[in-house]
Amino acid sequence: MKSALAAVVLACASPAFADAQLWVEAGAGTNITKRVEVDLGPQVRFDQDMSRFAAFLPEVNIRYRAKRWLRVGGGYRLEYERDNNDELVVRHRVSVDVRLRTELGAARVDYRAMLMEQVRHDTGDPYRAVIRNRLDVSYRAFRPWIPYAGVESFHLLGDFDELTYHKLRLSLGVLRGGREHDLEMFLRAELHADDRDPTFYIVGLGYHYQL
């Protein structure tokens, strides 16, 4: 927790180490049974103040709704992205997650715990495990417009189950939900534990179609 707070303070104190990014994604999903849903979709990212192609990230996810308040799932992502030398490389990511949800009047609280493994043969550390914890709070009194705020932490899982804080994401956004079409817009700050890495300020746009 102290390292996360230190990253926030450092990012605010070092505005020169920053980059504006644009993330755009589109996806489609369908229920293959009453409780099982499959989602497909790519994401495209632009960095260097939104002027340069940074990544193409197609992925597939499957999710099982065990209870109204409990979902479990997993997915695979192909990552065509820039490495630390700004070269475009191919990487892979597999993940499993658990999602919990509760309603508090017009507010909804969502929590997601994810374990993901990245395969990066272009590096000296080809396998990297990451634990992500995300908490979102949305307000649903203005539907179909749904504003939300979220925070997500990333920790690297090393040898002997050692956890190392990696980065933090802070998000503010709005969803426009429908029976078939969903639109999303968000602003996000990504704060890194390593002060040699820039702070990312991200504008996100998303569209999802439910078959």
Rounded to the nearest 5 percent, the helix, strand and coil shares of the chain are 5, 70, 20
Contact 88, 94 (CB under 8 A): no
> pLDDT tens, 113-162?
999 999 998 888 899 999 999 999 999 999 999 999 999 999 999 877 78
Q: What is the pLDDT of residue 125?
A: 83
The helix or strand, by DSSP H or E, that contains position 119, with its residue range, turns out to be strand 107-119
Radius of gyration of the chain (CA): 18
pLDDT of residue 158: 87
138/147 Cα distance (integer angstroms): 6
Q: Report which of 34, 8, 37 is spatially closest to residue 165, judged by C-alpha positions.
A: 8
The residue extents of the domains of the chain are 2-210
pLDDT tens figures, 72-82: 999 999 999 99
DSSP string, 123-134: SSS-EEEEEEEE
Provide the token pair at 90: 């191919």
pLDDT computed for residue 13 by the predictor: 47
The DSSP symbol for 15 reads T
Name the CATH superfamily housing domain 2-210: monomeric porin ompg (2.40.160.40)
* Per-residue confidence (pLDDT) for residue 70, from 0 to 100: 98
Unique residue bearing structure tokens 């890194």? 192
pLDDT, residue 159, reads 77
Token representation of residue 158: 């090393």
* pLDDT (0 to 100) of residue 2: 47
Query: In the chain, which stretches have pLDDT less than 50?
Result: 1-2, 4-16
Residue 9, helix vs strand vs coil: helix
Determine the distance from the C-alpha atom of residue 179 to the mean position of all C-alpha atoms in its chain, rounded to a whole number. 23
